[in-house]
């Protein structure tokens, strides 16, 4: 095993999280990863940050043949990727690549990939509303091109990132929300480009799994946060972290009552790997099922932990977005039923939200707020 990350990214929080992910995989799952080539789309984003560091960190231990990293850098970050590639250039190959228009057949070594992790999408509402058609195309056209190319190539696993947003705004009797819930989703509106693209992406995965017996795992993430989430991401945890780092007040652009559960990144990545390594078609909620916190309660934790780590002296205040559609179709509650993931995958998220926020802020403190 590589004992330390590259000097530029040697961060205590990151190292501890990599170990936690590894130790929460079963020996059988670890064995499936050995001697593999992994291809990742959208590798420069939040989730890509941890996937890339995990595979790079354990490349020697797992005898990883090659890590093929694809990113178009529309919203992804390049500096840390360049540093990671420089730490192991023989194994990590980074390519600027647009999943919508470029052909994976042109990427050296792509035909030998054992695992595909398709993350290429825009997950932040602020940004997918700026790039709505690109969001649709990445999740449908880009996915279809990958599925067509790998349909008969005997992959060990194909991981598609769907979203808990496919459930829309669940009726109260469906919270916690199981995978069997069909959703209460608007087909027309500011979030539809993302929600409906993910829903149709799931249908494409189902059809290809049926026709070609592909080992496709669909993950439905529930509100991930932590290191790797750029503080300019515009999602709630990033906004709060950015306010703490910059010593500004915590602004809530609602009445603070909508509720969510929040899953720390190491727990989330563990779950996604388990979905990918399951070895057959299925769909799983991945997240944390307790506690279900209001936005205000979530902000209060950032406030408390910020004082300890940064000497933060800011306050919480409520405001209204200048964007009139900011809260349109925003779910009132979001909480997963993890029964299936716990039972079938042995998934057991364990990082308390207070601990996760503390780890996120400590990471930012160690890196001066950057993804170093």
Domain spans in the chain, listed from the N-terminal domain onward? 7-225+263-289+326-351
Among 161, 120, 159, which residue's Cα sits nearest to residue 279? 159
Please determine, for residue 336, whether its predicted confidence score (pLDDT) is greater than 90: yes
- Do 62 and 91 form a contact (C-beta atoms < 8 A)? no
pLDDT per residue over 9-18, tens digit each? Answer: 458 999 999 9
- Phi, psi angle pair for 79, to nearest 5°: -55, -50
In DSSP notation, 227-248 reads TTS-TTS-SHHHHHHHHHHTT-
Distances (CA, A) of 286 to 22, 44, 182, 354, 357: 17, 21, 17, 19, 18
CA distance 119 to 67: 15
Q: In the structure, what pLDDT confidence band is assigned to residue 326 with cuts at 50, 70 and 90?
A: low
Please determine, for residue 372, whether its predicted confidence score (pLDDT) is greater than 90: no
Cα pseudo-dihedral 66, 72, 74, 77, rounded to 10:
30
Q: State residue 362's pLDDT score.
A: 96
Please determine, for residue 175, whether its predicted confidence score (pLDDT) is greater than 80: yes
247 CB neighbour count, 10 Å cutoff: 12
Mean pLDDT over 237-242 rounds to 96
Rg (CA), the chain: 19
Mean pLDDT over 308-314 rounds to 96
Which helix (H) or strand (E) segment holds residue 264: the answer is strand 263-264
Task: Please give the model's pTM, rounded to 2 decimal places.
Answer: 0.95
Q: In the structure, what pLDDT confidence band is assigned to residue 327 with cuts at 50, 70 and 90?
A: low
Q: In the structure, what pLDDT confidence band is assigned to residue 321 with cuts at 50, 70 and 90?
A: confident
Mean pLDDT over 307-318 rounds to 96
The CATH code belonging to domain 7-225+263-289+326-351 is 3.40.50.720
pLDDT per residue over 267-301, tens digit each? Answer: 999 999 999 999 999 999 999 999 999 999 999 99
Mean pLDDT over 221-232 rounds to 95
Q: State residue 127's pLDDT score.
A: 85
Q: State residue 352's pLDDT score.
A: 98
Six token digits for residue 266: 């190491």
Report strand pairing: 293-294 vs 259-260. antiparallel
Six token digits for residue 175: 């919270």
Q: State residue 2's pLDDT score.
A: 37
Q: State residue 341's pLDDT score.
A: 98
Cα pseudo-dihedral 97, 100, 106, 107, rounded to 10:
40
Q: State residue 76's pLDDT score.
A: 63
- Do 179 and 120 form a contact (C-beta atoms < 8 A)? no
Q: State residue 338's pLDDT score.
A: 98
Higher pLDDT, 256 or 148: 148
Q: State residue 35's pLDDT score.
A: 97
Six token digits for residue 237: 């945890």
CA of residue 4 relative to chain centroid, distance: 23
**Quick one: angle between helices 295-310 and 236-245, nearest 10?**
30
308 CB neighbour count, 10 Å cutoff: 11
């Amino acid at each position: 095993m590589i004992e330390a990350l590259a000097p530029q990214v040697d961060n205590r929080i990151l190292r501890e999280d990599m170990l936690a992910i590894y130790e929460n995989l079963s020996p059988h799952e670890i064995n499936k990863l050995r001697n593999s080539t992994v291809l990742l789309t959208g590798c420069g984003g939040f989730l890509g940050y941890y996937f890339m560091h995990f595979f790079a960190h354990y490349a020697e231990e797992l005898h990883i043949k090659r890590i093929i990293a694809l990113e178009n850098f529309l919203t992804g970050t390049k500096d840390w990727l360049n540093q990671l590639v420089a730490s192991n250039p023989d194994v990590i190959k980074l390519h600027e690549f647009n999943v919508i228009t470029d052909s994976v057949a042109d990427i050296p070594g792509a035909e030998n990939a054992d695992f595909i992790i398709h993350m290429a999408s825009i997950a932040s509402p602020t940004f997918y509303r700026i790039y709505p058609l690109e969001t649709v195309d990445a999740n449908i056209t880009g996915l279809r091109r990958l599925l067509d190319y790998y349909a008969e190539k005997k992959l060990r696993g194909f991981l598609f990132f769907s979203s808990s947003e496919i459930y829309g705004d669940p009726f109260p009797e469906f919270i916690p929300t199981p995978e069997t819930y069909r959703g209460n989703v608007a087909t027309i509106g500011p979030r539809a480009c993302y929600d409906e693209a993910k829903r149709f992406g799931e249908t494409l995965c189902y059809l290809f799994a049926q026709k070609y017996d592909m080992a496709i795992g669909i993950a439905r993430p529930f509100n991930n946060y932590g290191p790797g989430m750029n503080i300019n991401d515009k999602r709630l945890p990033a906004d709060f972290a950015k306010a703490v780092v910059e010593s500004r007040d915590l602004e809530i652009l609602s009445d603070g009552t909508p509720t969510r559960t929040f899953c720390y990144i190491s727990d989330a990545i563990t779950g996604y790997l388990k979905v990918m390594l399951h070895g057959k078609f299925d769909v799983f909620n991945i997240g944390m099922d307790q506690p279900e916190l209001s936005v205000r309660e979530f902000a209060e934790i950032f406030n408390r932990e910020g004082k300890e780590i940064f000497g933060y002296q800011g306050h919480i205040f409520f405001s209204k977005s200048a964007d009139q559609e900011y809260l349109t179709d925003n779910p009132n509650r979001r909480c997963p039923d993890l029964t299936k993931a716990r039972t079938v995958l042995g998934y057991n998220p364990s990082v308390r939200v207070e601990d996760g926020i503390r780890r996120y802020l400590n990471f930012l403190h160690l890196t001066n707020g950057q993804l170093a």
